Structure 1
Amino acid sequence: MKRFQQEHGDMIIKHMVDTVEGLVMPKVLKEAMVYSLQAGGKRIRPILLLAAIRTFNKDPLLGLNTAAALEMIHTYSLIHDDLPSMDDDDLRRGKPTNHKMYGEAVAILAGDGLLTYGFQFIAEDTFLTNDVKVRLMTLLAKCAGPEGMVGGQVADIEGEMKQLTANELENIHVHKTGKLLMFSVMAGGIISEATEGELKLLEMFAYHIGLAFQIQDDILDIEGSVEMIGKPVGSDESKHKSTYPSLLTMKGAKEKLHFHLEEALAALDRLPVYSSLLEEIAQLIVSRNH
């Protein structure tokens, strides 16, 4: 899996950067967009998408544009998350955040550029049928927009300085983090022409790994370090955010983490195709230290 992740992760980065470099736009905007695209990270979302395609014995390159579009949209969300009006973070993946490098206005516009160009990337894909492209763009808009990530971000902001219930916290993370992870897996299935039953199992898998991903983030915010996670630890506590450890205790959060891992793996077991790559990625999500 590490070889798959390295090879395809590098391919996605090169594809994104080469394409953006070839666009005609103001120099500072291009620099800001490329800066965040090259800032590192796990590339979990696009790797999940390509791994899902491989699971159905199709060529992962069929999903290269969609995977790149997904990573662009994820990157835009991080640029905007870091802004002073939201999380006000100075570091992202161990480097100065976009607005620290280029100013708030350019950072906002760099995020806008990545968001909109992501959809163009899918629309211009010559490997996919028009029906598949429309299906992908519709699902991506739903997962990234007000019914998904954007809505989850608003709920997260409204939840600051409040004591949330475990259900309220889960609802935030299902939308803020989980929806794009769900798109990753579902898009791979759609491109691979998976059946409706198979897509349901992929959706169930993605739901649980999305929650596992966020629980591990909450754990690392306490047990990690700046060197490990690329940003200051304890940022959730300093912003008075409810987290899984704060609501369930650290022991309870780790138990919940492994519960969601087991549920995700159980969904994979019901797929009629061999899914070792997806299983390995799920294991990586719960064991990662950054």
Structure 2
Amino acid sequence: MDPHLLRTFVTVVRTGSFSAAAGELGYTQAAVSQQIASLENDLKVTLLHRRPVRTTEAGARLLDHAGPILLRLQAARSEIAGLAAGPRTRLRAGASPLAAVHVAEPLAAARRAHPRLDVTVRVLPRAGIGAAVATGDLDLGLVDGIAAPSDPLRLDVPLTAVAVAERPLVVPLPVSHPLASRSRLDLRDLVDALWLDAPDTAVPLAALREAVGVRDGFRASLACDGGDLLLLLGLLGAGHGLAVLPAGAAEGGGLVEVPVGEPRIVHRTELLHPRTPDAASASFVAALT
């Protein structure tokens, strides 16, 4: 399967039209149509309905595979290019907001080992960390999520993942909240409560639904975009809704952290890096493992 044709297919689906895909890719519309036809001929199935543009069942199946395939190819290209470029004097590290607490100490170790190192640190949404490392935009990244104790995060990226930390989960509540005196909480009892939709600074509501095993519930009272934890804590303290955070994240915010008792899940942080990290990245990795 030609990856160029696969990339064109993904772009057509994402943009919703052959002309928009052509503009983005720098092709003519006729060239895009020809590439889609070539891919369909190769696979011997129809992948797209043309008017309007939407995937067939086979196209939807291919789309599920396309992202990881293209990401793996880009990761291979980036890693080989890095080897060919030789030793580097820069380190580009990234972290999701709740994983950023683990950056400072290993970064100090890397700078001690490489005093002339040019360092950039970026905070990105969880979903962007793995892709940024795989494509070479970052040299390594710290990402967080929830999992059963000792289980790895489910990250579909062609990278080495190393466990960094596991912390209990809590629901931070104002002192006056009726549940603030509880010794622990069962999330199944809170399905019908109002929640803050803060996917980058708290456990995403979709992840809570999956953990509890429900399709509905965990209704959002408001959306809180971005990685500002102080804003989230302010919204929690003012009673705008609930959120699940790792223990300690709400310290100093005037909130009571009530532990999550059920289901048995933890907050987990992992370090993502290419299979063959460069010297500076290796110093960072060694400080965390």
Asked whether the two chains share a fold, i.e. TM above 0.5, the reply is no
> Which structure has the higher relative contact order (CA within 8 Å, separation 6+)?
2
Q: Select the structure that is richer in helix.
A: 1
Q: Normalising by structure 1, report the TM-score.
A: 0.24
Looking at secondary structure, tell me which structure has more strand per residue.
2
